[in-house]
Amino acid sequence: MFSRAALVSASVGKTKIDMSANMIRRKLKSSLTSLLSSLYRATSGLRRNLERIRNHALLSSCLALPVDASVVVLGPPDVHGTGMIRFGKDVLLYPALYLETEESGSIKIGDGVVISRGVHIVARCKITIGEGTMIGEYTSIRDANHVRVPGLTIRDSGHSARPITIGTEVWIGRGVTVLGGVTIGDGATVGANAVVTRDVPAGATVVGVPARVVDALQTNR
C-alpha cells in the first residue's frame, strides 16, 4: 500500500502537470487568436465585399426582375413566392429580410430605400415603397388578411388583399405593422410599434395602436 505522504506527493505532481498543460494550451490559444485576428483584420474588406456580392447574387436568383448593381445586400434575404419584386437604385438591405409575393402580388421599392433587419414585406396585391424611405427593424408590411368562410378552416378560406402605398422620404420606426389598403403620405413618420390601419397624411407623425396623428404641422410642406 502507498503511504499517505506518497499519495500527497503524487497528487501535487499531477496538479503541477495539469497546470503546466493548461498554461501551454492558453499560450497556444493566445498565439493562434492573435494570428487569426490579424488575418481577419487584414482581409475584412475583401471578405465583406465577397459576402455582399454573394448576397446580391442570391437575391437576384430569386427574383423575376434584375437587381441593380448599386443595391447593397448586407445579409441573404429570405425570398418566397413568384419573385415579382422590383428594386430601385442605391437600396440598402439589412440581414434577415423576408420578402414574399403570391398570386398577382408585386412589391416595388424605390431608389435609396433603407430596409432594416428582420423586416417582413408580403404582397398578394401590390406594395409600393417610395424613394428615400427608411423602414425600422422587425416591421411588418402585409397587404392581405385571412378571411373566414363557413365550413372551412382559416387556412383554407383565402385572403382579402388591398394595395399599400408608402410615399417618399417616409420614416417607419421599429416594430411597426402596416395593414392592407393603407396609404402613408410623403414625409410622414410612423412611431415605433404603431399599427397603421388607415391612411397617414403627408408630413404627419402617427403613433399608437391603432396609429393616430400626433403632429400634423408639416402636412402642407
Give tens-digit pLDDT for 38-85: 887 888 888 888 999 999 999 999 999 999 999 999 999 999 999 999
pLDDT given for residue 36 in this prediction: 82
pLDDT given for residue 215 in this prediction: 80
Model confidence, pTM = 0.80
**Close Cβ partners of 158 (under 8 Å, ≥ 6 residues apart):** 146, 147, 149
pLDDT given for residue 153 in this prediction: 92
Mean pLDDT of 152-173: 94
Residue 1 has pLDDT above 70, yes or no: no
Place of cell 437575391: 59
Supply 71's cell numbers.
443595391
> How does pLDDT run across 94-114, given as a tens digit for each residue?
999 999 999 999 999 999 999
Q: Domains of the chain (ranges plus CATH)?
A: 63-215 (2.160.10.10)
Mean confidence (pLDDT) of the chain? 90
